[in-house]
Amino acid sequence: MTENEEKKLCAEALIISGVKPEKCMKCGKCSGACPSYDEMEYHPHQFVDMVSKGQIKKLMESASIYKCLSCFVCVERCPRNVMPANIIEAVRALQERPQGTDRLTPDEVKNILDDDTPQQLLMAAFRKYSR
Amino acid sequence: MQRIGVFVCWCGSNIAATVDVKKVAEELKSEPGVVYSADYQYMCSENGQNLIKSAIKDYSLTGIVVCSCSPRMHEATFRKTASEAGINPYMVEIANIREQCSWIHKDMATATQKAIILGRAAVAKVNLNTPLTEGESPVVKRALVIGGGIAGIQTALDIADAGYKVDIVEKKPTIGGKMAQLDKTFPTLDCAACILTPKMVEAAQHENITLYTYSEVEEVKGYVGNFDVKIRKKARYVNENLCTGCGECTSKCPSRKGLNEFNMGLDGRGAIYIPFAQAIPNVPVIDTAQCIKFKTGKCGLCQMNCPSKAVDFSQKDEFIDEKYGAIVVATGFDIITLENYEEYGYSMYKDVVTSLEFERLMNAAGPSKGHLERPSDHKQPKTIVFVQCVGSRDTTGCGKEYCSKICCMYTAKHAMLTREKYPDTEVYVFYIDVRTPGKNFDEFYRRAVEQYGVHYIKGMVGKVYDDGQGHLMVRGSDLLANEQLTIKADMVVLAAATKADESARKLGTMLTASMDTNDFFTEAHPKLRPVESPTAGVFLSGFCQGPKDIPETVAQAGAAAAKVIGLLAKNKLKSNPCVARADSLICSGCSNCEKVCPFGAITYAETDVNDGTVREKRRVAVVNEAVCKGCGACTVACPSGAMDLKGFTNKQIFAEVDAICRQTGE
Amino acid sequence: MQTDRGVTAEKEFQPKIIAFCCNWCSYAGADLAGSGRLSYSADVKIIRVPCSCRINPMFILRAFQKGADGVILAGCHPGDCHYSTGNYFTRRRMTLLFSMLDYMGIEKERTRVEWISAAEGAKFSATMNEFAGEIKKLGRSKRLGDLRCR
């Protein structure tokens, strides 16, 4: 991964998560509250910090993204509405999504659509397959 | 018809180099109303002014136009000149041909043409000018200070020392405010009571100061120099004149369920109580919610035991009406409630306390007589964790967005005092940033770290929980060590965010003084007028304007006092004559203007209106000229055009627009 | 652009632009632009008013009746008004007025509200230059009629 690609991924992680890391005042309350802190190599506050600095590769390769319980206590406790769990989720999504060509195009959607398909699932599928 | 003189200034070469001043003077001569025009090197010089004065006399001018520098520069000068020559100073208009013409244009023809147009506009305006006189209103030589904390006391003392009468209105039964509750003060560690109580006594004994304790401001009317204030003196049920403060009643009271507010509810008090030993006035008050006599009708032990027959259950709220020339707001602060912060367990664990509670626990006059003990089991804590920024700098809406300013320093003070008195106590401080700007402040904080061995941890606490064995487990991050810590503590002290006192909002509305979203009073100018409210005659002292520590509060209190003295020293207030005026013949009394007026200058009065055919009493708008600042918001809001602004009338501005739009030669 | 005066543009079109400036911020900003010798179009003529909220929509209508090609209002930044709330009124009033003017054929680009503080001399000159340039591009404005004068 080149530095530029990494920067691009970081920007994408911020878009997906809707997180604005510049709001962070680096108090560390997220990590102070995190129940799986010791399990994680990188901690919630580091996710926010590193993504904002363009260092997403280490995070994507780290097992920390799977150790996060998505309990959202960091989001709940953050005094500045930064939402660290959302950024961890975004890094996880970027890592997990199949890389490469599109697997589902909008044209194919109407064939597999039925009334019971929740809209959210469709959105998630687009996100997952459109990379 | 006006007789107008036009005076074109060269300003040396500042104007003359790019504007053909002779041509400007010549062109403007043919404008309607102009009977004289001249140009001169320096119009503002004595010779220049004399030229204007003699022209006014020789040509019996009624108005003048000076084409020169910005009116912000010399309007006052030329108004004075005009007035010395015997015409009304408001018959002067300035055409700004320097800053807004000669200095920004290089081409002589262009600049000259523009100067002529600006001159024409000014001439068109002067044609419609009318003489205006500055309003005058008397000043009541008495000041009201709302709030009897250190800010209010200091302001009142300073005003009183200057020889003016001051009344202090304090909603609590005693003056002293938050400072009276403090133990020591940073960074010198003076005992708060030792420096405050003498000031309280001084205020009480000062011949110029009247104290209204247990009282609230009920209504404010009037304007700068002439406020009418109604004060509600709440019933204490003890006659202040008869009471000797012996305390017999308080010791006999059988009700013990009331929480002692002065000690932050850490201990109890009787239903009849004196907040603290040095309270001023040293007169008890009955808490009717706790008093058995008020609840059941049976008891009255206090009354029976009072040697001076001061207890009076039939006492009623009293109202006092007084006139003031100036009002000082010194309502101070409070700390936020912590129900939004369950992670710190304040409402669950007795040993999680706020800093103000800790202050009482350390205080020799506090519930534990100064011996530090934790509230749950009265044991001396061996490990104390301080958490800073609890609710401060919080943008989620749970707390306050601002920095509370005083917490870093008082936490360092608490940590230091704890280590000083109980060296075997481990003290941890979780901080986000340590903010210590101030004289000897950072040195003080470093002393806590270096000399007293307080453990400062950069990070925040995420959770406080009970380990089941009487300890509080404090989990937080140590960002520098990049680890998560869990500290087994005996006591946790939360530096809760400060907030404006709850009475402030209501008061702000009463005074029509503007406030920010945090209920802090807004100053007239953030840099240059920090102790004045934009509302004339209302001044700000202390925390009510924004977070402040004691030295800053005292400094601001003195500054506010100086401003008040400056106002009260005047016998009459001169007011800007360029104010709004309602034409009672046109006004329909719709109240639109009243709603947009930021100063509350517009009222309505039943007025006799006689337009020649109809004679009737109508409700029409009346502008209080002493309060109106002349912004003109009402003139535009008025649907009928009844409201106009003197000095900037609709007609005058139309004339200026017309003059500028007029085609050359048209 | 059609004009009702039938004047052919034999020399360069010189638009008539009126700038209403509040006394406390924008007029002082204009003075500062002057002291800094920051040049801007001479087509801009300033009228001083105590506050932007003094500007009656009628003044602007009058300007377009009398042949102005653009009108710009400048006041203190929101929150900085000398009279605390005046510029908020301006903002709301002018939003309405400008859409009405647009409907009447005075293009939205010909009217503008700007917040210029006493310290923003450079902004004043840049804004005025830009506005004057825009008006120049638009050409002569339609002249509003006055029914009362028919």
Nearest residue in B to C22, CA atom: B631
Upper half-sphere CA count for residue B390 (Cβ side, 13 Å): 33
Cα-trace Rg, chain A: 16
| pLDDT score, position C1 | 44
DSSP class per residue in B404-448? -SSHHHHHHHHHHHHHHH-TT-EEEEEES-----STTHHHHHHHH
| Per CATH, domain A3-96 is 1.20.1440.230 | no
CA distances from B334 to A48, B264, B274, B280, B505 (A): 34, 12, 21, 21, 13
Please indicate, yes or no, if residue C8 is contained in any of the structural domains.
no
Residue type, C97: L
Q: Which domain holds residue C67?
A: 17-149
| pLDDT score, position A126 | 62
Q: Does the beta-carbon distance from A81 to B459 stay under 8 Å?
A: no
Between C30, C37, C54, which is nearest B631 by CB? C54
pLDDT band at A122; cut points 50, 70, 90? low
**Chain C residues close to B113, C-beta within 8 Å:** 42
**Chain A residues close to B464, C-beta within 8 Å:** none
- Name the nearest CA neighbour of A97 among A9, A1, A2, A7: A9
Given CB atoms, is A20 within the 8 Å cutoff of chain B? no
Distance in angstroms (rounded) separating the CA atoms of residues B510 and C108: 41
- Residue carrying structure tokens 């230091």: B416
β-pair type (C17-22, C70-75)? parallel
CATH number of the domain within which C25 lies? 3.40.50
Q: Taking a C-beta distance cutoff of 8 angstroms, is the pair B68, B11 a contact?
A: yes
Please indicate, yes or no, if residue C48 is contained in any of the structural domains.
yes
| pLDDT score, position B442 | 96
Domain count of the fold of chain C: 1
Nearest residue in B to A34, CA atom: B462
Min Cα separation B656/chain C (Å): 7
Q: Omega of the bond prior to B187 within 30 degrees of 0, cis?
A: yes
Percent of chain A with pLDDT over 70: 81
Q: Does the beta-carbon distance from C16 to B629 stay under 8 Å?
A: no
Residue C145 burial (CB count, 10 A)? 12
Phi and psi at residue C8, to the nearest 5°: -85, 145
| pLDDT score, position A112 | 73
Please indicate, yes or no, if residue C109 is contained in any of the structural domains.
yes
pLDDT band at A127; cut points 50, 70, 90? low
Checking if the pLDDT of B181 tops 60, the result is yes
Q: Does the beta-carbon distance from B105 to C37 stay under 8 Å?
A: no
pLDDT tens digits, C90-105: 999 999 999 999 999 9
Distance of alpha carbon B77 from its chain centroid, rounded?
A: 33
| CATH numeric code, B335-499 | 3.50.50.60
Q: Taking a C-beta distance cutoff of 8 angstroms, is the pair C29, C54 a contact?
A: no
pLDDT band at B653; cut points 50, 70, 90? very high
Least confident of B187-196, B466-475, B522-531: B522-531
User: Are B142-234+318-332+502-568 and B335-499 the same fold in CATH?
Assistant: yes
pLDDT tens digits, C103-115: 999 999 999 999 9
Summarize the confidence of residues B76-85 as an average pLDDT: 95
Given CB atoms, is C46 within the 8 Å cutoff of chain B? yes
Residue B647 burial (CB count, 10 A)? 19
Give bridge partners of residue C72 from the DSSP assignment: C19, C112
Q: Does the beta-carbon distance from B633 to C53 stay under 8 Å?
A: yes
Give bridge partners of residue B575 from the DSSP assignment: B135
Greatest mean pLDDT range, A59-73, B392-406, B594-608: B392-406
DSSP class per residue in A72-128? -HHHHH-TT---HHHHHHHHHHHHHSPPSS-S--HHHHHHH--TTS-HHHHHHHHHH
Distance in angstroms (rounded) separating the CA atoms of residues C112 and C126: 14
Q: Taking a C-beta distance cutoff of 8 angstroms, is the pair B612, B588 a contact?
A: no
pLDDT band at A120; cut points 50, 70, 90? low
Checking if the pLDDT of B227 tops 90, the result is yes
ipTM value > 0.95: no
- Residue carrying structure tokens 């100086």: B562
Residue type, B238: V
Any idea what the Cα angle at residue B150 is, between residues B147 and B155, rounded to 5°? 75
pLDDT band at B162; cut points 50, 70, 90? very high
Q: Taking a C-beta distance cutoff of 8 angstroms, is the pair A77, A33 a contact?
A: yes
Phi and psi at residue B164, to the nearest 5°: -105, 150
- Which DSSP state fits B78? H
| pLDDT score, position B616 | 87
- Name the nearest CA neighbour of B391 among B346, B441, B435, B425: B346
| pLDDT score, position A100 | 55
| CATH numeric code, B142-234+318-332+502-568 | 3.50.50.60
CB pairs under 8 A between A and B: 72
Phi and psi at residue B13, to the nearest 5°: -105, 0
Q: Taking a C-beta distance cutoff of 8 angstroms, is the pair A70, A106 a contact?
A: no
- Domain limits of chain B? 4-132, 142-234+318-332+502-568, 248-305, 335-499, 576-646
Checking if the pLDDT of A114 tops 90, the result is no
Chains C and B touch (3+ CB pairs under 8 A): yes
pLDDT tens digits, B87-100: 999 999 999 999 99
Q: Does the beta-carbon distance from C93 to B636 stay under 8 Å?
A: yes
Given CB atoms, is B402 within the 8 Å cutoff of chain A? no
Q: Does the beta-carbon distance from C50 to B632 stay under 8 Å?
A: yes
Given CB atoms, is C126 within the 8 Å cutoff of chain B? no
Checking if the pLDDT of A27 tops 50, the result is yes
Distance in angstroms (rounded) separating the CA atoms of residues A62 and C7: 76
pLDDT band at B136; cut points 50, 70, 90? confident
Checking if the pLDDT of B559 tops 50, the result is yes
Given CB atoms, is A77 within the 8 Å cutoff of chain B? yes
Nearest residue in B to C24, CA atom: B72
Q: Does the beta-carbon distance from C50 to B110 stay under 8 Å?
A: no
Distance in angstroms (rounded) separating the CA atoms of residues B658 and B656: 5
pLDDT band at B604; cut points 50, 70, 90? very high
Q: Taking a C-beta distance cutoff of 8 angstroms, is the pair B493, B354 a contact?
A: yes
Encoded tokens for B48:
């220049």
Domain B4-132's class? alpha beta
pLDDT band at C123; cut points 50, 70, 90? very high
**Chain B residues close to C39, C-beta within 8 Å:** 104-106
Give bridge partners of residue B232 from the DSSP assignment: B216, B319
Encoded tokens for C46:
């300033």
pLDDT band at B614; cut points 50, 70, 90? confident
pLDDT band at B666; cut points 50, 70, 90? very low
- Domain limits of chain A? 3-96, 101-131
Q: Taking a C-beta distance cutoff of 8 angstroms, is the pair B557, B542 a contact?
A: yes
Q: Taking a C-beta distance cutoff of 8 angstroms, is the pair B630, B647 a contact?
A: yes
Residue B193 burial (CB count, 10 A)? 22
Min Cα separation B417/chain C (Å): 43
Q: Taking a C-beta distance cutoff of 8 angstroms, is the pair C15, C69 a contact?
A: yes
Give bridge partners of residue C18 from the DSSP assignment: C45, C71
| pLDDT score, position C3 | 44
Checking if the pLDDT of B201 tops 80, the result is yes
Min Cα separation C136/chain B (Å): 16
Give bridge partners of residue B427 from the DSSP assignment: B384
**Chain C residues close to B110, C-beta within 8 Å:** 42
| pLDDT score, position C4 | 46
Nearest residue in B to C129, CA atom: B104
Q: Taking a C-beta distance cutoff of 8 angstroms, is the pair B533, B513 a contact?
A: yes
Q: Does the beta-carbon distance from A38 to B484 stay under 8 Å?
A: yes
Tell the burial category of B406 from Cβ atoms under 10 Å away from its Cβ (0-12, 13-18, 19+). Answer: buried
Between B100, B113, B629, which is nearest C34 by CB? B100
Phi and psi at residue B184, to the nearest 5°: -115, 165
Q: Looking at per-residue confidence, does C76 or B528 come out higher?
A: C76
Distance in angstroms (rounded) separating the CA atoms of residues B277 and B193: 11
Distance in angstroms (rounded) separating the CA atoms of residues C123 and C74: 11
Phi and psi at residue B482, to the nearest 5°: 55, 50
Chain B interface test: which of C46, C64, C93 (most B C-beta within 10 Å) = C46
The residues near A13 (Cβ < 8 Å, ≥ 6 apart) are A19, A51, A56, A87, A90, A91, A94
Q: Omega of the bond prior to B281 within 30 degrees of 0, cis?
A: yes
Q: Mean pLDDT in chain B?
A: 94
| pLDDT score, position B643 | 95
Q: In which element (H, E) is residue B252 found?
A: helix B248-252
CA distances from B540 to B141, B161, B560, C41 (A): 18, 19, 6, 44
Chains C and A touch (3+ CB pairs under 8 A): no
pLDDT band at A129; cut points 50, 70, 90? low
- Crossing angle of helices B108-126 and B650-661, in 10° steps, is 150
Residue A22 burial (CB count, 10 A)? 10
Any idea what the Cα angle at residue B15 is, between residues B13 and B19, rounded to 5°? 110
| pLDDT score, position C9 | 47
| CATH numeric code, B576-646 | 3.30.70.3270
pLDDT tens digits, C4-49: 444 444 568 899 999 999 998 999 999 999 999 999 999 999 999 9
Summarize the confidence of residues B286-296 as an average pLDDT: 94
The residues near B79 (Cβ < 8 Å, ≥ 6 apart) are B89, B90, B92
